[in-house]
Amino acid sequence: MRFISLHCDYIKFKPVKKAIKEPEQLSKEREKGEEIKEVLVVLTAVESMDDIETADDYVENIKDIASQVKVKKILLYPYAHLSSDLAKPNLALSVLEKAEMLLKKDYEVHRAPFGYYKEFELKCKGHPLAELSREIRKGIKGKKDENISKIGIIEEKYDTSRLLKEISRTKLDTSKLKENDHRIIGQKLDLFSFNESAPGSVFWHENGLAVFNELVNFSRELHKKFGYKEILTPFIFENKLWKVSGHWEHYKENMFFTDYENRNAAVKPMNCPGMMLVYRTKTRSYKDLPLRMFEFGTVHRKELSGVLAGLFRVIKITMDDAHIFCSLEQVEQEIINIFELVKEIYKETFNFDYSTELSTRPEKFMGDKKDWEIAENALENALKKAKVKYKVNKGEGAFYGPKIDIHIKDSLGRSWQCATIQLDMQMPKRFELEYTGKDNKIYIPILIHRAIFGSMERFIGILLEHLNGNLPLWLAPIQVRVLSFTNRNLKYAQNVYDKLRKEGFRADNDFRDITIDAKVRDAEIMKVNYTIVVGDKEEKGKTIAVRRRGNKKVEFGADTDKFINDLKTEINERR
RNA sequence: GCCCCAGUGGCUCAGUGGUAGAGCACGUCCUUGGUAAGGACGAGGCCCCGAGUUCAAUCCUCGGCUGGGGCUCCA
């Protein structure tokens, strides 16, 4: 039996045995100031009268805790055995009839024709449970009452525990965009835009591209330090490659196809196969390992239409992708090295609050259980050695191997996966990758897929929200802006501006004929790091007046050359 | 893909079954100001696309596209 309770905008699925605990939760929510006026108890899948009694206990509990809360009981339809045992409709029917008789007073009973189950499942393109919840909600709003009688039939085979987790998670305040929403910042600072004609694909404006490129440069430098070799592979590959890699089989729905002449090809949704081909360009020996191949790879993935979200979820994705080829013994150390890199970026550079999760073997997996155990142990040991705190997600690994992910929350409290480290023992076999060992025998290397930013787009989105658009000097799209005080000072202002440009700063100017207040205001809104005003005083003394973003104090009479040097120092320190 | 909501000048939004309005931004002029909005005037719109209802649709209905939130999936 499934047990559903709804109140206000909350919707929760609870297995009946756990549901008894729920009234406590209700009181907690009331303490937090949640206003709950009505609780709707919806019973589905009643299998016996015991179920109904349990539900009644639950209702009594609610009444004890919150006497003013209105409780409405709905018996949706006892579909016991219906899904799993269509051969016994009479059994289900008898339960239903009993229930109806006993409960008519208290429960609104809705029933559907038994044949509806199949129909419903066929109709559902999404998750049947999720759809059921919408149906119920719709019914409650009274808009389409007739729908209520048609629902309530769901296959038991669907794993509800995961859904439970999702749905019972704190409901987000979705009514308002937060001020630090990256989409708003992106528009205000003229960083990027989207267009209907290329959904899920970012148009990077000058300002946004500056941020993007700085991050790329930063990452390149760091990867060099960590011993990676950067390469670049094609965008379009023939389908036969995707058949080898397994994407044809597992990822076809997400790929863009493009045929030409006699070739059937696809735009790459992942970078791995291209890199595998580079590995194969020569014979490798154990001396070459670990081989760390790095690529800023641009991939395209067809995503379900309801799933795109600003920079967080896009179709054209740029990844700081790398593949590490190594021996089994080297895996642990390589993972530890990756943690170092993660720490360097996430902690030292940006000071993010992030969580680490280890996902293990799923029910449907490729390869040997033994290999999986080795891989999982390697990941876990590395986590422990690197003293990383982590959570285990059992059974949520990729089909080809276990993985470690880094998650960060956005302005709405939603968690996004950024960095990912995945062990793969399938791809090297499929591509027949080899290396010669010390003993002159041929071995298959282990493959580690990993991305640190994850997707550049998503990372920039997270970063913008984290800093509320106040980017540090080295990343800022407009580092310095020169303002003319009056039209008398235009020439000198132009000189100062030219000088800054020639020094290589991202500088711009505002020589409009409006008040200095208005220009300063605009510079602050644009999150310009340093605003420089030149007026008569400055012109006379060959100085500048410097204002730092968010600071009310202004440094009058500053020396231009010294200012330039200070800027350079600040950029180099990446503070 | 599913559920709910939205789509009106570059931006933020009003509004109406009789083909449109404000503020900001933009342009011109006045003003020449010391660190978060000086003033006047002006230009700018296939009211997302397609069909239907109607004498008449930006508005109502249906379908589509895109965006937002929630699922599912993922970086």
Q: How far apart are CA A252 and CA A394, in angstroms?
A: 26
SS3 content of chain A, % helix, strand, coil (to 5): 40, 25, 35
HEC sequence for A239-251:
HHHHHHHCHHHHC
Strand B closer than 7 A to residue A33 Cβ: no
Is residue A262 within 8 Å of A447, Cβ to Cβ?
Answer: no
A134 CA – B4 C1', rounded, Å: 8
Partners of A446 in beta bridges: A326
Q: Which nucleotide is nearest to A547 (CA to C1')?
A: B35
Per-residue pLDDT of chain A (575 residues; tens, 9 = 90+): 333 333 222 222 222 222 333 444 455 544 544 444 445 555 544 444 555 555 666 666 656 655 555 555 555 443 322 232 222 333 334 444 444 444 444 554 444 333 333 333 334 333 333 344 334 333 333 333 333 232 332 222 222 222 222 222 222 333 345 778 999 999 999 999 999 999 999 999 999 999 999 999 999 999 999 999 999 999 999 999 999 998 998 889 899 999 988 899 999 999 999 999 999 999 999 999 999 999 999 999 999 888 999 999 999 999 999 999 999 889 999 999 999 999 999 999 999 989 999 999 887 777 788 888 888 998 999 999 989 899 898 888 887 889 999 999 888 788 899 999 999 888 999 999 999 999 999 999 999 999 999 999 999 999 999 999 999 999 999 999 999 999 999 999 999 999 999 999 999 999 999 999 999 999 999 999 999 999 999 999 999 999 999 999 999 999 999 999 999 999 998 86
Q: Which nucleotides of B are covered by protein (CB under 7 A)?
A: 1-4, 11-12, 25-27, 29-38, 65-75
Tokens for A33, please give them.
């100031």
Q: Which nucleotide is nearest to A195 (CA to C1')?
A: B66
Pairing of strands A403-409, A354-359: antiparallel
Determine the length of chain A.
575
Tokens for A405, please give them.
């992910």
Query: Could you give the 3-state DSSP secondary structure of residue A18?
Result: helix
Task: Judge if pTM exceeds 0.80.
Answer: no
Is residue A375 within 8 Å of A400, Cβ to Cβ?
Answer: no
Q: How far apart are CA A482 and CA A522, in angstroms?
A: 12
Q: How far apart are CA A167 and CA A165, in angstroms?
A: 6
Alpha helices (runs of H) in A261-368, residue ranges in sequence order? 272-279, 331-342
Q: How far apart are CA A417 and CA A396, in angstroms?
A: 13
Query: Could you give the 3-state DSSP secondary structure of residue A285?
Result: strand
Alpha helices (runs of H) in A35-115, residue ranges in sequence order? 49-65, 89-103
- Supply angle C-alpha A189, A193, A199, rounded to 5: 155
Q: How far apart are CA A168 and CA A158, in angstroms?
A: 17
| Torsion-angle region of A422 (φ positive above 0: left; ψ -120 to 50: alpha; else: beta) | beta
A144 CA – B57 C1', rounded, Å: 28
Q: How far apart are CA A555 and CA A394, in angstroms?
A: 57
Strand B closer than 7 A to residue A131 Cβ: yes
Q: For A439, which DSSP code?
A: T
Strand B closer than 7 A to residue A548 Cβ: no
State the greatest distance between any 2 C-alpha atoms of chain A, in Å, as a whole number. 99
Domains, chain A, with CATH or none = 2-168 (no CATH), 182-233+271-467 (3.30.930.10), 480-573 (3.40.50.800)
> Quick one: which of A212, A126, A121, A207 has its CA closest to A163?
A126
Q: What DSSP letter does each residue of A65-130 carry, written as one string? A: H-TTSEEEEEEEE--TTTTT-TT-HHHHHHHHHHHHHHHTTTEEE----TTHHHHHHHH-SS-HHH
Query: Could you give the 3-state DSSP secondary structure of residue A512?
Result: coil
Q: Which nucleotide is nearest to A198 (CA to C1')?
A: B66
A523 CA – B7 C1', rounded, Å: 31
> Quick one: which of A463, A476, A470, A455 has its CA closest to A201?
A455
Is residue A297 within 8 Å of A233, Cβ to Cβ?
Answer: yes
Beta strands in A129-262 (DSSP E): 192-193, 203-204, 229-230, 236-238, 257-260
Name residues 179-238 of chain A with a Cβ under 7 Å from nucleic strand B.
183, 187, 194, 196, 199-200
A463 CA – B35 C1', rounded, Å: 29
ipTM: 0.95
- Non-local CB neighbours of A117 within 8 Å, separated by 6+ positions: A79, A82, A83, A86, A153, A155
